[in-house]
Amino acid sequence: MAKALDALISEGVSGRRVLVRSDLNVPLDGTTVTDDGRVRASLPVLTKLAEAGARVIVMAHLGRPKGQVDPKYSIAPAAQKLDELADVPVKVASDVVGEDAQAKAEALQDGEILVLENVRYDPRETSKDDAERQEFAAELAALTGDNGAYVDDAFGAVHRKHASVYDIAQKLPGYLGDLVKKEVDVLKKVISDPERPFVVVMGGSKVSDKLAVIENLIGKADSLLIGGGMVFTFLAAQGYSVGGSLLEKDQIDVVKDYLDKAEAAGTEIVLPVDVVYAAAFDKDAQNEVRPVEDIEGGEIGDSGLGLDIGPESAKIFADKIKSAKTVFWNGPVGVFEMAAFANGTKAVADALVSSDAMSVIGGGDSASAVRNLGYSDDQFGHISTGGGASLEFIEGKELPGVVALGA
């Protein structure tokens, strides 16, 4: 049985160095953090430990530097944002487990936070070789001295069998951070004991990325609302022509099978009845609303592509959401970054905001979409900090970082 953070606090952390795996994998524009949601989500556990007297050492990754030191993937901008938001002192090491990290870890005082450089700068972090990961985990653990502890508070990384997520739990006494515990509790309820009607909104570009999720939800969800680029494979499976829209032809037969299985299992799959069809993938492109049974029949013809669900579809999706008691949403239903193709995603978000349902946004692009469209986190029931992790949980997969702690 996994131990929660409060158990560690009650044991006493004053004067102890505690290694915390946080999620600081924030989007950057150069060195500017464009969405600090993950930093803010990491703050409560770090602050809780620091205020209890712990000497906190933060491990985190940013991007995919592939085991090389690359300045554009430095953790420094995220650490700076953490320092701006925190009420306790934050220091930054210029390396991961090298001389600077060792010296600054040794010099930490009670209530201070040290952020290590990007753990993915070390190729052993993501190595497929167990011995290499174990070696790196041992070096990370050594930063805590003789009486250290490990806290996993990075839900966005728990689906990775990486040294700072999985192997470290074999080197130090491990505890579930509050953020990870809440994520697991919320997603367990969604998948195992949802209040009904249970409605799932699935978007994003490729249906192949979501097949396992869709398969696991058939028979569990009452309604599956499908949008985004993935919808065109569903429409093609029903015999519709989709112009130049994103289409995975090799998945059409799989989708046909899912449509049949869903009908037999009592899960309603709701597809758009109209789409916003554009002449090009461009914010200023000519566009028109087309019914799905005649997408190519307008002025744009067969060379265009669908970039959003249409207004009638948005109303149908909104009504389904408003009638639900539990809603899980993963993936925008249109190209929300372009104003002309953001209305469908806005309609889904508006419906969630006005709904009484328990709403869970499954991280990733969905979380970015609602923030970039001007919504605040507290307008929704729960915004997951881990897109990939939440999807794998909904798929029914075991998450290595959670398993390592016995949860």
Q: Is 297 annotated as a binding residue?
A: no
Residue 44, token pair as written in the block: 């409560």
- Is 38 a catalytic site residue? yes
67 catalytic residue (yes or no): no
Please tell me whether 290 is known to bind a ligand.
no
Residue 51 assigned to a binding site: no
CA distance linking residue 327 with residue 319, whole number of Å: 12
Torsion-angle region of 270 (φ positive above 0: left; ψ -120 to 50: alpha; else: beta): beta
Task: Judge whether 381 is annotated as a binding position.
Answer: no
Catalytic option among 38, 161, 171, 346: 38
- Positive/negative CA dihedral, 321, 327, 332, 336: positive
DSSP for 56-111? EEEE---S--TTS--GGG-SHHHHHHHHHH-SS-EEE-SSSSSHHHHHHHHH--TT
Is 363 flagged in the annotation as binding? yes
Residue 387 marked in a binding site: no
- Helices and strands, number each (H, E), in the chain: 14, 17
Q: Is 365 annotated as a binding residue?
A: yes
- Ligand-binding annotation for 250, yes or no, is no
The catalytic residue among 40, 91, 206, 325 is 206
305-309, strands of its sheet edge to edge: 287-291, 274-278, 305-309
37 annotated as ligand-binding: no
Active-site entry in 244, 344, 364, 387: 364
210 labeled part of a ligand binding site: yes
Q: Report the run of H or E that residue 141 belongs to, with start and end.
A: helix 130-142
Which among 118, 111, 117, 115 has a CA at the least distance from the CA of 50? 111
Instruction: List residues bridging with 149 in a β-sheet.
Output: 18
Query: Has 62 been labeled as part of a binding site?
Result: yes
Residue type, 58: V
Question: Peptide bond before 197: cis, by omega within 30 degrees of 0?
Answer: yes
Structure tokens at 204: 């994003």
Task: For residue 147, say whether it is annotated as part of any ligand binding site.
Answer: no
In the residue annotation, 206 being an active-site residue is answered as: yes
Query: Binding site annotation covers 330?
Result: no
Binding residues for ATP: 210, 306, 337, 363-366
Binding residues: 23-25, 38, 61-64, 120, 160, 210, 306, 337, 363-366
Active site residues: 38, 206, 364, 388
Binding residues for substrate: 23-25, 38, 61-64, 120, 160
